[in-house]
Amino acid sequence: MIYTIIAAAAVINIVLGILALTKGASRVNLSFFFLSLFLAAWNLCVVMWAGGFEAAGRLNFVAISLIPTAGMVFVLSVFSITSGPLAAAPYIIAVPGIGLILLTLGTFISAPLKQIYDSAWYKLAIFLYLFIPLLFAFGVLIYKLYFIKYRQEKIKVAYIITAFMILFAGGMIDLASGAKLYKPPFDYIGNVCNVIYAALIFIAIFRMRLFNVEVLFGGFLSYAFMAVVAGAAMFLAAVNLQGKPLAMGTVFFMLMFVIIYYAARIRGFVFQLREKMGALSKTEEARSEYKRITAEHAEEGIKILDTLLVMAKHLDMSAAVYMKGGDYFMASWITAGSQFNDIVEGSAVQPDMIIRYETSDRVELELLDRFRADIIIPLIYSGSVLGVLSGKKHSLDISMAQDEVDLIREIGATISVYIKAKIVQGRQVEDENMKRLGMMADQMAHEIKNPLTALGGAAMLIDGKTDADRENLAIIKDEIRRLKKILDSWRDYSREIKIDKKSVDVIKLVTDAVRIMNLQTGGYVISLEPLAGQLSVSADAEKIKQVLLNIILNAVEATCSREKPEVSVAISRKDRYADIKVRDNGEGIKKEDLPRVKEALFTSKPRGSGLGLAISERIMKAHDGALFLDSDGSSFTEVTLSIPLE
């Protein structure tokens, strides 16, 4: 029974090593693979020695002599230690290890060396060689544990420490027994502890995401299938070519060549087979659909939304893409049923991905809370942050496998390209529309404005004989003025925005604009929340005032139906930007209209031109600033003007 457990421990160690290796050929994965291989060899040697293979006892010492060096390399790899005094530790440990290995192997050809091998002091030397380096490795692990930033990583390392401590204790008891230093209650305690160690590492893999969980059901099964096929082919060749070593060697060589040469194709075949059988993991299914979307010839916005839907379907998370404007991010694409904020102040967004369970930094956690997300990835193109991809897990377990994180990171890079293409296309379309609108405005000015001027002049010459006539004439004059104003707006919108930037005190500019509007609205009180001191921006004061007056006028008009109308203006500083917020308690803007209110010629007002916000948006962009709108569609609207500081 005990040998069955030890053999099972050997198999589990091999599987653990393969799990690490198939994740990638990084230093930490390779070191863990070799460590697992040596532990498996230790177990197998014990089983073979118990089966009567006397040489396995000596080979066992060869295997365990490699463990300290492998263990130290793994510990240094976990913490990415590649320089300094600690980096030399594996080489120092390897020197006596090589000596012990050579002495042990020499026992097969030298009787004197066999006598040394059988002596008590040699067993003591082996014991000390394993005890001291492994104890030192534990010291490094425990010391470094206190400097780990991320809670999830701390838990992973704690699992590793616990598992290796159990393995270390069991191994030392076995060696102490072999050196006649201690008599344990039963034999093979070290191998039994190896089983517990393997169980803890498996828990770390499946629950704490130590390595890629799904590789066991993905790449590992693919390699296992290839191994079974190759093994079967070699077995048949060995059976049929007994007594023909040359022919057998040739067939084996050809089989190995075919397996290595066609490994990628065979693995692809197994992947397709698993896909047809429905055996793909959720992450693999998501990647498959994501690749299909990237290959489609669809508009970038559609691709972005389809990609977010793939994340919602296969990665069990809501997702949203925010576009950057100033220090703010506005939700532009979002999956149904999500609870993300529409507008987020994101001055703390950095070029690095943030995962909730991996960070304890207060600023990063606050940023995640603002987006209402568990993961945010900045969308970067040519070094510039264009937006943010945010995700919110549907489950209580918000941890993600490494392949999920890798896929989301890859999706973020692709969406960055889509957004850049969309921005470029948008500018091209806008330029083309400006040309067309300019031509139309000039034509209308020629064909309509001149007759309107004549009509206005004629109306001025007519004297109304009755009150009804005078009222009708007043209507005619007002409508002529309104039509001229619309024509002027079209011409202004179609022309290039030219700004004359100078140092402007935003606080004074806003105070003046509010005073003007309070006078124009006939006693209508617009409250102002000023900021103490001075806040300077580099801007065209007249253009910014034009935008602000238009926004405040819209707010005043939106609250006309309220019993207690309220319009407030607030000034604040946000990192590199000055923010002006205009908020009213009007009926708000319908959710379905919010994405379109800044489009040219779109208006919900009976007498609106549909160009006020469009012109304001262009003026803000010319200042490298932004204009944002937020509304619940029933009780408020808030407009934010964000202007870069001087």
pLDDT at 250 over 90: no
Residues written for the chain = 646
Share of the chain above pLDDT 90, in %: 6
pLDDT band at 60; cut points 50, 70, 90: confident
| pLDDT (tens digit per residue) in 444-489 | 666 676 677 777 776 776 766 777 777 777 777 777 777 777 676 6
Q: How many angstroms separate the CA atoms of 311 and 326, rounded?
A: 28
Tell me what the mean pLDDT of segment 482-510 comes to. 76
pLDDT band at 320; cut points 50, 70, 90: very high
pLDDT band at 244; cut points 50, 70, 90: confident
Of 328, 466, 441, 338, give the one whose Cα is nearest residue 392: 338
Taking the CA of residue 135 as centre, how many other CA atoms within 13 Å lie in the half-sphere pointing to its CB?
8
Q: How many angstroms separate the CA atoms of 550 and 629, rounded?
A: 14
Q: Please name the residues in contact with 512: beta carbons below 8 A apart, sequence gap of 6 or more.
A: 545
pLDDT for 204: 63
628: part of which helix (H) or strand (E)?
Answer: strand 626-631
pLDDT for 415: 93
Tell me what the mean pLDDT of segment 33-45 comes to. 81
- Asked if the domains 2-211 and 288-417 are classified in one and the same CATH topology, the answer is no
Q: How many angstroms separate the CA atoms of 40 and 379, rounded?
A: 45
| pLDDT (tens digit per residue) in 579-632 | 889 998 888 888 777 777 777 666 666 556 667 787 888 888 888 888 888 888
pLDDT band at 410; cut points 50, 70, 90: very high
Of the candidate ranges 30-44, 255-269, 421-435, the one whose mean pLDDT is the lowest = 255-269
| pLDDT (tens digit per residue) in 73-88 | 888 877 777 788 888 8
State how far the alpha carbon of 558 is from the alpha carbons of 368, 372, 503, 528, 562, in Å: 34, 30, 33, 18, 9
What count of other Cβ atoms lies within 10 Å of the Cβ of residue 326? 26
State how far the alpha carbon of 287 is from the alpha carbons of 19, 20, 121, 312, 405, in Å: 20, 21, 58, 13, 12
pLDDT for 416: 92
Of 384, 457, 460, 443, give the one whose Cα is nearest residue 416: 384
pLDDT for 379: 92
pLDDT for 411: 93
pLDDT for 214: 46
Instruction: Evaluate whether 120 touches 179 at the Cβ level (below 8 Å).
Output: yes
pLDDT at 512 over 70: yes
Q: Which structure tokens are listed for 568?
A: 């407030």
Taking the CA of residue 113 as centre, how many other CA atoms within 13 Å lie in the half-sphere pointing to its CB?
13
Of the candidate ranges 273-287, 338-352, 497-511, 571-585, the one whose mean pLDDT is the lowest = 273-287
pLDDT for 413: 92
* 353 three-state secondary structure: coil
Q: How many angstroms separate the CA atoms of 217 and 158, rounded?
A: 26
Q: Which CATH class is domain 2-211?
A: mainly alpha
DSSP 645: B
* 38 three-state secondary structure: helix
pLDDT for 464: 66
pLDDT for 403: 73
The position carrying tokens 């060995």 is 238
- 502-644, superfamily in CATH? Histidine kinase-like ATPase, C-terminal domain (3.30.565.10)
What count of other Cβ atoms lies within 10 Å of the Cβ of residue 291? 10
Q: Give domain 428-494's CATH architecture.
A: Orthogonal Bundle (1.10)
pLDDT for 414: 93
Computed over every residue of the chain, the mean pLDDT equals 77
pLDDT for 390: 92
Q: Which structure tokens are listed for 382?
A: 């040519």
The fold for domain 288-417 equals Beta-Lactamase (3.30.450)
pLDDT for 179: 57
Instruction: Evaluate whether 255 touches 232 at the Cβ level (below 8 Å).
Output: no
Name the H helices within 522-569.
541-558
| pLDDT (tens digit per residue) in 126-183 | 778 878 888 888 788 788 777 765 455 667 677 777 877 887 777 777 666 655 666 6
| pLDDT (tens digit per residue) in 41-55 | 877 877 777 777 777
pLDDT for 494: 63
Q: Please name the residues in contact with 160: beta carbons below 8 A apart, sequence gap of 6 or more.
A: 78, 141, 201, 204, 210
pLDDT at 279 over 70: no
pLDDT for 208: 47
The one-letter amino acid code at 547 reads V
pLDDT at 23 over 60: no
pLDDT for 418: 92
Domain boundaries, the chain: 2-211, 226-276, 288-417, 428-494, 502-644
In terms of average pLDDT, the best of 107-116, 216-225, 397-406 is: 107-116
Tell me what the mean pLDDT of segment 566-580 comes to. 85
Say how many Å lie between the first and final Cα of the chain, rounded. 79
pTM, to two decimals: 0.51
pLDDT at 351 over 70: yes
Q: Which residue has the higher pLDDT, 8 or 389?
A: 389
Q: How many angstroms separate the CA atoms of 208 and 201, rounded?
A: 10
Strand 567-574 with 526-529, pairing = parallel
| Phi and psi at residue 325, to the nearest 5° | -145, 110
pLDDT at 540 over 60: yes
Is 54 buried (19+), middle (13-18) or exposed (0-12) by CB count in 10 A? exposed
